A and B are shown apart, each in its own frame.
Chain A
Amino acid sequence: DVKVTQSSRYLVKRTGEKVFLECVQDMDHENMFWYRQDPGLGLRLIYFSYDVKMKEKGDIPEGYSVSREKKERFSLILESASTNQTSMYLCATLTGGGNTIYFGEGSWLTVV
């Protein structure tokens, strides 16, 4: 059974804290993505990666960074969390050509 696992489902962090969101996939897919989802705005692309040690900015990269040291793991980092980063974060993998997409369960982050 295919799995995309996000390590934290619910987090509460303070403003200014460094936050790590981890995503691990077991399908040997090259393409991995981080999105945030907000009411009325839908899914917005933060960062993506097509290969190990490769990363590209999506539509809303400000305030975020990523790390992909191993093929199966793609981490999203909030260097200094702010209240406007309170959101639901989703990790996904995508097969070549966009044929199949798998999402993690999502991580609900509240920054206070």
Chain B
Amino acid sequence: KNEVEQSPQNLTAQEGEFITINCSYSVGISALHWLQQHPGGGIVSLFMLSSGKKKHGRLIATINIQEKHSSLHITASHPRDSAVYICAVYDLNYGGSQGNLIFGKGTKLSVKP
């Protein structure tokens, strides 16, 4: 399934830079998640969006429902931001009767000091 496309696949930045990761999707959704995965495996949810914009510390996530596009921004990036960032959309028509998540393949971010 290529319903969720992320770009770029890999991103290297210098500490302090402003970073943008993009996510485009082709299905109708009720929610979009941005997830973070550090080396070692565990995945945590950063944001859930159904419209508009959310901000948490140096992270900002936006979604444009009409254009089926979302962006994750990191301001003043830091080496501890190095991780894989995954976009996931909740599609009510995928999987069982309650819908299911469809994941992008992730963006690997490396922030150099």
Contacts and interface: CB of A to CB of B under 8 A. Distances in A.
Interface of A: 31, 33, 40-43, 45, 48, 50, 56, 58-59, 88, 90, 92, 94, 96-106, 108
B103 interface: yes
Interface residues of B, number: 26
Q: Which of the listed residues A43, A45, A48, A96 has the most CB atoms from chain B within 10 Å of its own CB?
A: A43
Contacts of A59: 1
B57 interface: no
Which 4 pairs from chain A and chain B are nearest by CB?
A: A98-B90, A106-B41, A42-B105, A103-B43
Contacts of B41: 88, 90, 105-106, 108
Contacts, number: 66
B31 A98 contact: yes
Interface of B: 1, 30-31, 33, 35, 40-45, 48, 86, 88, 90, 95-101, 103-106
A98 B104 CA distance: 16
B42 A105 contact: yes
B95 A99 contact: no
B97 A99 contact: no
Nearest to B96: A56
Q: Which of the listed residues A50, A98, A100 has the most CB atoms from chain B within 10 Å of its own CB?
A: A98
Given A42-B86, A103-B44, A106-B42, A48 B95 contact: yes
A77 to B, nearest CB: 20
Contact of A103 (B1, B42, B48, B97): B42
A96 B90 CA distance: 11
Given A43-B86, A103-B44, A106-B42, A96 B103 contact: no
Contacts of B48: 98-100
B96 A99 contact: no
A51 to B, nearest CB: 10
A99 B43 contact: no
Contact of B104 (A40, A42, A106, A108): A42
Given A40-B105, A42-B106, A101-B33, A96 B45 contact: no
